[in-house]
Chains A and B, each alone.
Chain A
Amino acid sequence: MAKGDTRGKGSAAGLVRLLPLLVPAGLLVATLAVPFVYETQTLWYKSGSDKTLLRLGQLVGLLAVYLLFLQLLLGARVPPLASLYGTATLLRLHQRNGLFLALLAISHATLILLAEGLLPPLAWKFWPELVGVFLLAILLLTVLLSRFREQLRLPYRPWRVFHRGVGWLALPLATVHVLFVSESFAAGLPRYLLLLLAAGVAVWLLAARLTLRRGGTAS
């Protein structure tokens, strides 16, 4: 009996340790399933390579948004992550993830443009796409300024203000872009899950910021 209890406690503790991996993995699978389970009408009217490019573009875009949310948490060194992995690891992950994220964002835009016959969305009625273009521009600028800050001789403090500002701006911009650009997120489960996820990230970031301001450590 006692032996069984120990085994039970052990497996429960193992599950708790695995949660920081299991939850993001589950969310990632759910995110990437959206273009298949909640297929957009745009996909109905595509065939051949255009359909493949568009679906791939959607997947890459969703992965980019997922990693963007993760990037914000990594950058803010939110409490459980910082204590689990240490701030140095989080910073390294933040830098690498930032580059990967930028690459995915460029790939997303390229794939969608290719699928749409290289027609840029140049009209106000395509405002959700234009939000995405703006987000892509500020993401690329942020990555470039961060990567070459020393070469560009940018002072640390103004750079940090800009970097954080972009972080706070990117969260609503990415959410709005996805909610209004994709019919998959027009209603139902994907819409509510995305809103919940964005709100969760915002609350988590605010909580981490308040903890730091009160003199505590995020780690």
Chain B
Amino acid sequence: MKRTAVTLTILLVLCSASSALSAEVRSWELDKAHTNFYFTIDHIFSKVRGQFNDYSGEVLFDPENLAASRFSFAIKTASVDTGIAKRDKHLQSADFFDAGAYPLMTFVSEKIIPLGENRYQVAGKFTVKGVAYDLQLPMTLVGIKAHPAVQGQDVIGFNGTLTIDRLAYKVGGGKFFDMGVVGREVEILVSLEALTEK
């Protein structure tokens, strides 16, 4: 009986410590008008740029409490937009994202490592077409300040770029790469602004 009580007390202390840790981290709401997931890929000789217009995300961030900070994003693959509807349809198809079978791509951070000068290595799981991969997303904290246009709100800004091999994530079977039409390396730019109460 005494042992159970002690165990329960320890658990309660741990839980409250954990929630206190989380509570210290500010939760930021994505400003969708100023947040996006851009990509650039080679097409024979030219560069094709695109973005994903429909996504959701959660940003818990405090530079002083990285252990409890967290990034998570869920991107709707059908929202891929390159400015040409026919091409978007092709990108949605099984030749690339297979949006019918895999409507979401997600990234959930597991650890945020400071690299100095406001740069962070955000390590997490990137799930594409139902398979989770380890991914290191480099993010630069551009700043935190009072929002110049919204009273009572702070704004935070991050930019992150990385290059991935789309074939490693099975985004395409390599047919168009072998044909010399669509490149395998995709440059990604994550650019986000998020707001929170002061």
Chain A: residues with CB nearer than 8 A to chain B?
Answer: 40-42, 45, 47, 116-119, 121-123, 125-126, 183
Contacts and interface: CB of A to CB of B under 8 A. Distances in A.
Contacts of B176: 45
Most chain A CB atoms below 10 A, which of B81, B86, B99, B181: B86
Contacts, number: 31
A126 B100 contact: no
B29 interface: no
B93 A117 contact: yes
Contacts of A45: 90, 95, 176, 181
A121 B98 CA distance: 14
Contacts of A118: 100
B93 A119 contact: yes
B94 A117 contact: yes
A117 B100 contact: yes
Interface in B126-142: none
A42 B90 CA distance: 8
Which 6 residue pairs spanning A and B have beta carbons closest together?
A: A117-B93, A125-B85, A117-B94, A119-B100, A42-B86, A119-B92
B68 interface: no
B175 interface: yes
Size bracket, chain B contacts:
10 to 19
A123 B100 contact: no
B154 interface: no
A47 B89 contact: no
A118 B81 CA distance: 19
Nearest to B98: A117
Nearest to B99: A119
B29 to A, nearest CB: 25
B175 to A, nearest CB: 7
B88 interface: yes
A126 B90 contact: no
Given A45-B176, A47-B175, A119 B89 contact: yes
Most chain B CB atoms below 10 A, which of A47, A121, A125: A125
